[in-house]
A = this chain, B = another copy of it.
């Protein structure tokens, strides 16, 4: 199949660029002496996770139980659930994964979850590996620093069917701080309590072997911290527009990785004499949670506007810019990769013009999977 014949809108992944990104991150963690447990919430795709592990990643981070199930089913090691779960069915599903030999661990930031996991693990006769999830300022998941964190650490250490083996400290607020120096300052300051907590756990004689941190935005920044053992970076595989604007050690654009994912669309209306054309990629083709809009690859003289679920409109950015014709195929950059991937069932993996493979976005699904 040829790239230009895909049914549109289609998610298209450039394999040369993907592989360059994977190689670059693998080389980075090797050079820093850190481990990599990349976050699969970005791609939700076991085929990409396999390529990450083949290049040395020690495991895969996931955001949902369905993602954990998909990654374990694909035979991937070290699957870390980074989000809390509190309802019994999800607790049971994670315990079942473990009982069936799945290599899973969980980040836990609340005694409620600790108690439920402990009880379910005991009932199933398994011991669950746990990271204490520390809230370093995101105000999302995790236990606050200080006394609550120490109390939770004690509770996790004493739980009979849990094994505390470290700390997770994710600073989403640091990830998109613009400017490398500011981002470095923000992240190092934010993560200091996590390093302290890990030291405290060790002073208590606990097996605190893991400190899991970092986004793609702080992949080189957090690797400088001696206490950090592993990085959870996810977006580097695709590098969306939202990351490119944050700058890097080298300049105003974050060009340490290369954008590899695009959306292919078709011009479906173009009437003579009008100053716009319509493409078949709208709200269902691009997640709308960030301010940036998609851009046409190779056509900076065109502007995109959302026009509903199925449609986008293209205008000339400057007078006289030639408009595409009906039936033309265009590729668009992606403002925010994770929720955009979530809109699709499959990734078309291309090398040049050739579609080499179609990869199901297996971990997108709800549970239990529906049969079509």
Contacts and interface: CB of A to CB of B under 8 A. Distances in A.
A30 to B, nearest CB: 29
A288 B326 CA distance: 29
B266 A86 contact: yes
A1 B272 CA distance: 56
Question: What 8 A-B pairs come out closest when comparing CB atoms?
Answer: A369-B372, A288-B289, A84-B268, A345-B366, A112-B326, A283-B339, A283-B289, A86-B327
Contact of A64 (B142, B144, B310): B310
A172 B308 CA distance: 9
A274 interface: yes
B90 A7 contact: yes
A140 B307 contact: yes
Given A141-B269, A271-B110, A371-B372, A289 B311 contact: no
Interface string A153-180: 0000000000000000000100000000
A370 B44 CA distance: 15
- Copies of this chain present: 2
A359 to B, nearest CB: 10
Given A345-B365, A345-B370, 14 more contacts: A7-B367, A41-B309, A83-B268, A83-B280, A83-B310, A86-B266, A86-B327, A112-B327, A139-B307, A141-B268, A141-B311, A287-B288, A345-B369, A362-B372
13 contacts: A5-B87, A7-B90, A63-B309, A63-B310, A83-B280, A86-B268, A86-B326, A87-B266, A110-B269, A138-B307, A140-B269, A283-B289, A345-B369
